[in-house]
Structure 1
Amino acid sequence: MKLSSLKALVTAAPTLLTVPLLALWSPAQAAGDYGTDTCAAGYVWREAIPSDHVCVTPQVRQQTAYDNSKAASRRNPLGAYGSNTCINGYVWRNAFNGDVVCVTPQVRQQAAYDNAQAANRLAPTNLYGPDTCISGYVWREAIPSDHVCVTPQVRQQTTYDNSRAASRRNPLGAYGPNTCVSGYVWREAFDGDAVCVTPQVRQQVRDDNAQAANRVAN
């Protein structure tokens, strides 16, 4: 996609934005202060939700904040998808799993493009000793000490699964409060990890654990 096309995607509604751009950006986000999530020069965290550290242009971050502020006004609570139904002309943003903020189709396309480019927009760093990931990988952080190197998408999935942990448990099940509801299994990213995830995510975790040594910078 050409740069001119990208600019067109994020300038479809710029005249509506009222939040000063500098108020949404901290220079530290591009200055190497945030470990493996540090963005390359010219990019900042999108923050569609606080844990969304996909690196985007400041303009896209501003668009994201604007769309979040307009979320309620773009829903039709009587629609086919209940309270998450978008009004005519809007679609779910899908910046992360479960993102149902309603945006224009162009903004959703921008979010998909930014997600695809996430690994390429991270600042190179060797500030974290033997746990430093090679380019394109970041710490998984299923718990703060989990420094297995994974793709940014897997890290994002991990954060999401952590946030859904309580809703996926059956406290009356065979394994007590750690019993997963039907369709979910323990993640097992580390010893004692009983966060409930899909079988596909658990397999991804096993693959990432097996590849951990190959993804660490020398």
Structure 2
Amino acid sequence: MNSILKVLVTAAPALLTLSMLASPAQAAGTSGPDTCASGYVWREAIPSDHVCVTPQVRQQTAYDNSQAGSRRDPNASSGSNSCVNGYVWREAFQGDAVCVVPAVRQQTRNDNAQAANRLAPAPLASGPDTCLSGYVWREAIPSDHVCVTPQVRQQTAYDNSRAASRRDPNGPYGSNSCVGGFVWRNAFQGDAVCVVPAVRQQAIDDNAQAASRIAQ
């Protein structure tokens, strides 16, 4: 177990029972494009938080959520979301102001950075769009059957999950404008999910290779 989390779990034995708060399917992330690789579960800092983490991190997250009210200092500089001394905002997602110890915030950043690498590639059905061995459907949208590597599929799912946080509604293209450093993915016509430029180039390359990756 990560040494940081070992200390935290030891200090808070009650959190060891918190994995029972969700159904087994939710805890394992066993459905949909956000299915976790073996050994990981959804973090669920909020119900829609499907970043895949270890079971210990999920338990720590639930415990920190349960302690949120007791760790706030409403008289401090940031208002009602201010943390008492020794705690900082977790920042698991945009706007996450749950107060945690600094080690947990760092763990959260590490887990967010590894999110795309912890998703399980989904098996594909047979049919005219069946991919060659080693490739899977990208599914930027459900009908997107461009064949890509499992890593690209995982990145695509992650970028979809972060889409709202990367938009600048006051930008030149209205509600679909991207914040600085991001561009439209353009995996398909009208695809305005904001990604880093390297991901858009990957989408262009995968689209160009699409026909050569279909099983004959």
Q: Do these two structures clear the TM 0.5 threshold for a shared fold by scoring above it?
A: yes
1:25–1:58 contact (8 Å) kept in structure 2: no
Distance across 1 between alignment mates of 2:107 and 2:176: 39
Q: 1:159 to 1:140 in 2, by over 3 A?
A: farther
Residue 164 of structure 2 corresponds to: 162
Matched, 1:80 2:72: no
Report the identity percentage: 47
| Shift of residue 61, structure 1, vs aligned partner | 1.2
1:169–1:181 contact (8 Å) kept in structure 2: no
Distance across 2 between alignment mates of 1:66 and 1:40: 23
Matched, 1:67 2:61: no
Q: 1:11 to 1:144 in 2, by over 3 A?
A: same
Matched, 1:37 2:39: no
TM-score by length of 1: 0.64
| Shift of residue 73, structure 1, vs aligned partner | 3.4
Matched AA of 1:123: A
Query: Please, which of 101, 122, 126 is the counterpart of residue 123 of structure 2?
Result: 126
Residue 207 of structure 1 corresponds to: 201
1:55–1:114 contact (8 Å) kept in structure 2: yes
Q: 1:138 to 1:63 in 2, by over 3 A?
A: farther
| Shift of residue 144, structure 1, vs aligned partner | 4.7
Query: Please, which of 93, 107, 120 is the counterpart of residue 110 of structure 1?
Result: 107
Q: Which has the higher contact order (CA 8 A, sep 6+)?
A: 1
Distance across 2 between alignment mates of 1:102 and 1:54: 19
Matched AA of 1:22: M
- Provide the secondary structure at the position in 1 that maps to 2:163: helix
* Cα deviations by residue, 1:5-57 (Å, 9 ceiling, x for unpaired): 254154154334385423335147648x4244222333211112333222222
- Provide the secondary structure at the position in 1 that maps to 2:84: coil
| Shift of residue 118, structure 1, vs aligned partner | 3.4
Distance across 2 between alignment mates of 1:217 and 1:93: 43
Residue 15 of structure 2 corresponds to: 17
- Of the structure 1 ranges 56-65 and 77-86, higher mean CA displacement relative to structure 2 is found in 77-86
Residue 57 of structure 1 corresponds to: 54
Unaligned runs of 5+ in 1: none
| Shift of residue 104, structure 1, vs aligned partner | 1.1
Distance across 1 between alignment mates of 2:214 and 2:28: 21
2:5–2:57 contact (8 Å) kept in structure 1: no
- Provide the secondary structure at the position in 2 that maps to 1:65: helix
2:183–2:200 contact (8 Å) kept in structure 1: no
State how many pairs are aligned.
204
Distance across 1 between alignment mates of 2:10 and 2:137: 32
Matched AA of 1:111: T
Matched AA of 2:56: Q
Distance across 2 between alignment mates of 1:110 and 1:72: 21
Distance across 1 between alignment mates of 2:205 and 2:64: 38
Matched AA of 2:163: D
